[in-house]
Structure 1
Amino acid sequence: MAPTIANEATRRLGIAHPVIQGPFGGGLSTTALAAAVSNLGGLGSFGAHMLPPERLGPLADELRGLTRAPFALNLWVSDHDAGGERIDAATFEQAWPLFEPYFRELGLEQPFPPERGHPRFDEQVDALLEARPPVFSFVFGIPSPRILAECRRRDIVTVGAATTVAEALALDAAGIDLIVATGAEAGGHRPSFLESAEDSLTGTFALVQLVAPRVRVPVIAAGGISDGRGVRAAMLLGAQAAQIGTAFLVCAESGTTDAHRAALFSGQAHHTTLTRAFTGRLARGLVNRWTRELAPSFSQLPPFPVTSWFVSQLRPAAIAAGRTDLVSLWSGQIAPNLRHRTAATLMQSLLADLAGEALLPHPHPEASPA
């Protein structure tokens, strides 16, 4: 077991090791995964941005029943893009022709749209404050001063995500406790909030070196990190911890599908792309038929979360039919190096590396699956 690494980041988070499990949305987070990471001395996280407010209290209670260690709940500060607040008749009719062929292919009827495609952040965050998780992490913006003051009053540690130096400086000025510097290599959504995501694609290690000396609070590196060597490299460059996403997503405890895991352990993992085709917001995943066929239609895609809602109506049928060509397969660029299939073996490997027990290059991923 690696010795405890004590620095300002681990102290503020109340964890033994500088490893944070990235939060996953869309049903990919599980309490089992978050608790497993927390119980092993890292910070487990649960992406709760699609949950209604009334689910957040029971979620926090469930996590407290599984771990006595700190954990994080994650929300999206910006819950819609311009024009996407409501799915009214006009919005639906304009978007439907783009998705109709896929509904027909899967044998699905035209869905009936809800008024909104995403819970309201203002209502979610009030429920989160009541639930009082040890850590509140967030993306796509900065909560209001009222919310941040309440977090301080309730001893909730705040963690915000930045994709540029300007965003990191804005988070620092707002009094956020820790800043995640998330590079373009990362899987899932690009949580940019000052400039377009397409204009906020600095790589992780460059971003860490730019952000760390310019902010007052600890920096967490995210993107392109799957093992302890990556964590150590990030810390050499100024980060005090690393957030790891894809390597935890592929673990058995996550909420993703076996087909997604198989794709991440296959040659398909060598090919990722940044696309708006699944949600309307830019995100990195494996290349498949959906990303290829929707690429020429980006200008026609409805805004987030309207695109996300249409895709969510297709997803269950596509998964049931084994159609990985029509579902999101989120992945970071480091996926070809994935080796571990459980949270315990991944954490054990990370901690061994951090202890200096595995300084030589790892063997080929396919040669030593754990």
Structure 2
Amino acid sequence: MVSPVARAEAFCARFGLRLPVLLAPMSGVPSIPLASAVAAAGGMAGCGALTFDSEAIADWMHRFRQAGGGRALLNLWVPDPAPARDAEAEARMAALLAAEGAAPGSLSPGLQDFGAQCAAVVAARPDAVSSIMGLFEPSQVTAFRAAGIAWFATVTTPAEARAAVAAGADAVIAQGAEAGGHRGAFDAARAEAQMVGLMSLLPAVADAVEVPVIAAGGIADGRGLAAALALGASAVSVGTAFLRCEEAGIAPVWAAALAEVAPEGTVPTRAFSGRLGRAVDNRWTRTVAASGGALPYPLQRAATAALRERAARDGDVELMQMWAGQSAAIGAAMPAAQRASRLWQEARELLA
């Protein structure tokens, strides 16, 4: 049996890393300083490109390389089917927004051209591309492989992991229920039913596939990294634990909330986008839950655009979209490179 440390070192050797640590690609936090710091420490930078058009994808990679470069991953969302429209539900959501003094946004989906995004990733040539909410088409997988781009597929069940490997994934990201931000469930309607904690999900996925498994969810210090490796992971993807680093550049009130929030203070919610994600509980998440639920993605995201923009501008934590994993408060804020390095140092000591 390969030891956890040897497995992590093999992953690092394969993908040109010094640390088995990936910066989770958080859409809305495309910070070049944060990505550069993690890459400089020897990990893999990450950028969520959900809202990026082709030019923005090229620009992010250019600025990242200008800032020092290193290993990097871009993430794309596999599109959902067109959402069903429900006039009664849309009127109810408009009334909730009006009660908060926010006009509902246009319900135009406003999504980027997914095919053009994939082509832009091929042209930008990051070291890896990750998928979430589903799988790439065979032609897209072929194009990534021809460009030397590894594919890391986000999965939330062993069945999704097996499907990803069958489709050509080079590694899978096993996303536990503890993870902040959006759930990667292939079937949006089953996201709540498939909320499995990383302690149970990770070994099940590791037993189900032969490719490397990257653990995501609730990992905020060396203990979490060591546990993930012991359960079969080859590396970890860490998001929330980096948000309190100065390089992340998030709103001060969001960072302050992360420092104080208890594990039970984060909730799975569709209140901001219509897709299930884990965020700091606040008045808006409770209002939407009590009202009967959100509109489907991306209609809810479009409807709440003005509310989210105003809350971010005003620092209103009761209405703000504050994605957060359940381990948000673990560990003091520190420079991002130091946090990445310490994760691996502490894990090695624990596993020695």
- TM normalised by structure 1 equals 0.87
Displacement of 1:270 in angstroms is 4.6
Matching of residue 157 in structure 1 with residue 150 in structure 2: yes
Between 313-322 and 256-265, report the one with greater CA deviation.
313-322
Aligned counterpart in structure 1 of residue 289 of structure 2, from 268, 292, 295: 295
Aligned twin of 2:118: 125
Which residue number corresponds to residue 185 of structure 2?
192
Task: Letter of the 2:217 partner, please give it.
Answer: G
Tell me what 1:87 maps to. Answer: none
After TM superposition, give the deviation of residue 233 of structure 1 in Å.
1.1
Deviation at 1:269, TM superposition (A): 5.8
2:163 matched residue in structure 1? 170
The alignment status of 1:321 with 2:314, answered yes or no, reads yes
The match for 2:254 is 260
Structure 1 runs of 4+ aligned residues shifted over 6 Å read 90-93
TM-score between both structures, scaled by the size of structure 2: 0.91
Counterparts of 1:33 and 1:105, CA distance in 2: 33
1:345-365: CA deviations, max 9, x gaps? 312321330341x78xxxxxx
Match of 1:19 among 10, 16, 21: 21
| Aligned-partner Cα distance in 2 for 1:96–1:254 | 37
- Return the offset for 1:312: 2.0
Q: Secondary structure at the match of 1:95?
A: helix
1:153-207 deviations in Å (ceiling 9; x for gaps): 1100111101000000001111111100111111111110047101211111211
Q: One-letter code of the match for 1:21?
A: L
User: Are residues 123 and 203 of structure 1, via their aligned partners in 2, closer, same or farther at CA, if it must alter by over 3 Å?
Assistant: same
**Residue 304 of structure 2: which of 311, 319, 328 is its match?**
311
2:329 aligned residue: 336
RMSD: 2.4
Other-structure match for 1:77: 78
Does the residue aligned with 1:264 lie in a helix, a strand or coil?
helix
Is 1:98 the counterpart of 2:100 in the alignment?
A: no
Gaps of 5+ in 2: none
Aligned to 1:143: 136
Contact 1:270–1:336, Cα closer than 8 Å, also in 2: no
**How far, CA to CA, are the matches of 1:73 and 1:263 in structure 2?**
27
Asked if the contact 1:264–1:331 (Cα under 8 Å) also holds between the matched residues in 2, the reply is yes
Show CA shifts across 1:110-145 (max 9, x none). 64x274322122221111111111111111111011
1:199-228, CA deviations, whole angstroms, 9 ceiling, x for partnerless residues? 211111211111112212100111111011
State the alpha-carbon separation in 2 of the partners of residues 313 and 14 from structure 1.
42
CA distance in 2, matches of 1:162, 1:110: 33
The whole-number CA distance in structure 1 between the counterparts of 2:225 and 2:287 is 36
Deviates more, 1:310-319 or 1:261-270: 261-270
Structure 1, unmatched stretches of 5+, are 85-89, 360-370
